[in-house]
């Protein structure tokens, strides 16, 4: 028992208890607070049992059976598209009689185990670019199936988790930079096109601004614009070489490759994302882009957070939340509710607990007895860090409204159980750090 990570367990349980209390607060005026709390409490108990079982189970079994676990996770994602239940526009749930279950919360762990097992098996070759093809294909298969649901929020966390595992395994920084750049171009083009379509042009803008807007709306100017960017890259590289700046031909080809693959991938991203999803991702720049949707949510969330001041308005006393102005307060905007009722002090406490969980995950990774345990702990820690950062940034209007729940706090049985199972794997790695 002395080898248990009691600090991690205390932080997880503390957040979960706070989550139960504020699920009650969020639903108190709806007449169904008891039902919500009971369902969340049942998920908490199931998650705790699962955490204990995984902590007692040697985590190396996930390395031994990584291939069948990954295959099972793919089958689950395919099955939910075929026989799953559609809720709120997403075909992401299995209806299991008394409750609904979202398999992506488990398949994410299956993907993390597969990536960690592959990285451990190819640890000596991770700096080879060709070695990255398999982990990218594994992640891409999950991304494709999740976006078909279409569950953008769950898909978003897979990329950072994959990149973190590859980085921990020794993948070269230029390779990771190329992947990030390619993804940024592929995602940025459809979002920019959506922005220019919604936001009216400034009458005083010059012809350059008008051409850029046309480049994201019409096919001819589009290819002309990106062709011009490619030519500018080549000319800039040539001039820098003339001034004896040490740039290799590889850097030129990599930059052009990022542009080419990113522009090509933007067409796939454009068809994968729905119009409302693109609006949600850019509404934080200007709430007027989606005034009745995510823009409204951001405004009400910021009002709720600001009105809490330092000590908050008191439990069950938040005007924005209790009077129904704050939407989705029991799920996506739980942090806003906490900030309104507990103030800056309560929000800072929650932030501190999240920081401690992420810190413990990375510390467990640094002390793991093998590379597989290290990579798996890094993947789990990155998932917690990314989801927490995006959700908290979203409610403050600093990040896109991605719909990511806040682990351990937001209402949702699948999310809570999945988070506790992830902690169970961290506990298993921590308990066996000295076992030979």
Which tens digit of pLDDT belongs to each residue from 244-260? 777 777 777 778 887 78
For residue 13, pLDDT over 70 is answered with yes
Q: What is the pLDDT of residue 226?
A: 80
CA distance 115 to 376: 8
For residue 270, pLDDT over 60 is answered with yes
Identity of the highest mean pLDDT range in 100-109, 244-253, 372-381, 395-404: 372-381
CA distance 72 to 410: 27
Q: What is the pLDDT of residue 360?
A: 94
Q: What is the layout of strands, in order, in the sheet containing 85-87?
A: 85-87, 90-95, 100-101
Q: What is the pLDDT of residue 289?
A: 66
Comparing 158 with 267, the larger pLDDT belongs to 158
- The predicted model gives 278-299 an average pLDDT of 70
- The predicted model gives 162-173 an average pLDDT of 89
Comparing 335 with 286, the larger pLDDT belongs to 335
Task: Name the CA radius of gyration of the chain, rounded.
Answer: 23
Position 276 confidence tier, pLDDT thresholds 50, 70, 90: low
Position 315 confidence tier, pLDDT thresholds 50, 70, 90: confident
Position 30 confidence tier, pLDDT thresholds 50, 70, 90: low
Q: What is the pLDDT of residue 114?
A: 94
- The predicted model gives 238-242 an average pLDDT of 81
For residue 402, pLDDT over 80 is answered with no
Maximum CA pair distance of the chain?
73
For residue 436, pLDDT over 60 is answered with no
Comparing 277 with 57, the larger pLDDT belongs to 57
In the block, residue with structure tokens 């503390």: 14
Contact criterion met (CB below 8 Å) for 108 and 146: no
- End-to-end CA, the chain: 18
Position 200 confidence tier, pLDDT thresholds 50, 70, 90: low
- The predicted model gives 156-175 an average pLDDT of 88
Q: What percent of the chain has pLDDT over 70?
A: 91
Q: What is the pLDDT of residue 165?
A: 93
CA distance 293 to 298: 9
Q: In Å, how far are 51, 105, 309, 358, 391 from 380, measured between CA atoms? A: 14, 12, 33, 9, 17
Q: Mean pLDDT over all residues of the chain?
A: 83
Comparing 227 with 112, the larger pLDDT belongs to 112
For residue 285, pLDDT over 70 is answered with no
Contact criterion met (CB below 8 Å) for 322 and 316: yes
Q: What is the pLDDT of residue 108?
A: 92
- The predicted model gives 382-391 an average pLDDT of 91
For residue 29, pLDDT over 80 is answered with no
Helices H / strands E in the chain, number of each? 18, 3
Helix (H) or strand (E) holding 171: none
Question: Dihedrals φ, ψ of 313, to 5°?
Answer: -90, -5
């Amino acid at each position: 028992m002395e080898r248990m990570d009691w600090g991690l367990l205390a932080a997880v349980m503390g957040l979960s208890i706070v989550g139960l209390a504020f699920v009650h607060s969020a639903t108190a005026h709806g007449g169904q607070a008891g039902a919500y709390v009971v369902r969340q409490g049942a998920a908490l108990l199931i998650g705790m049992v699962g955490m204990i079982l995984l902590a007692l189970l040697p985590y190396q079994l996930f390395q031994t059976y990584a291939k069948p676990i990954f295959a099972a996770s793919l089958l689950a994602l395919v099955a939910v598209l075929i026989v799953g239940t559609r809720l709120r526009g997403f075909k992401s749930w299995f209806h299991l009689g008394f409750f609904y279950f979202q398999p992506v919360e488990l398949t994410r762990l299956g993907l993390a185990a597969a990536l960690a097992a592959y990285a451990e098996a190819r640890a000596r070759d991770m700096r080879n670019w060709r070695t990255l093809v398999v982990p990218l294909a594994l992640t891409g298969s999950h991304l494709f199936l999740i976006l078909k649901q279409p569950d953008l929020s769950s898909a978003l966390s897979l990329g950072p988790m994959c990149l973190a595992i590859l980085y921990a395994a020794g993948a070269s920084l230029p390779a990771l930079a190329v992947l990030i750049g390619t993804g940024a171009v592929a995602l940025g083009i459809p979002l920019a096109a959506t922005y220019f379509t919604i936001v009216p042009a400034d009458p005083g803008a010059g012809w350059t601004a008008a051409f850029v807007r046309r480049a994201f709306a019409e096919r001819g100017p589009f290819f002309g614009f990106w062709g011009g960017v490619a030519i500018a890259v080549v000319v800039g590289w040539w001039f820098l070489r003339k001034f004896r700046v040490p740039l290799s031909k590889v850097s030129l080809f990599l930059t052009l490759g990022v542009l080419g693959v990113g522009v090509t991938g933007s067409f796939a991203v454009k068809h994968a994302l729905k119009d409302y999803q693109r609006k949600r991702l850019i509404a934080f720049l200007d709430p007027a882009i989606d005034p009745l949707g995510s823009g409204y949510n951001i405004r009400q969330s910021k009002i709720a957070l600001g009105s809490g001041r330092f000590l908050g308005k008191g439990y069950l006393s938040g005007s924005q939340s209790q009077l129904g102005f704050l939407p989705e307060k029991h799920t996506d905007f739980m942090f806003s509710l906490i900030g309104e009722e507990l103030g800056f002090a309560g929000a800072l406490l929650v932030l501190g607990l999240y920081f401690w969980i992420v810190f413990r995950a990375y510390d467990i990774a640094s002390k793991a007895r093998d590379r597989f345990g290290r990579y798996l702990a890094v993947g789990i820690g990155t998932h917690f860090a990314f989801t927490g950062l995006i959700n908290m940034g979203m409610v403050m209007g600093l990040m896109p409204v991605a719909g990511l729940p806040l682990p351990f706090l937001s209402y949702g049985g699948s999310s809570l159980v999945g988070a506790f199972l992830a902690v169970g794997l961290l506990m298993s790695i921590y308990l066996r750090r000295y076992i030979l």
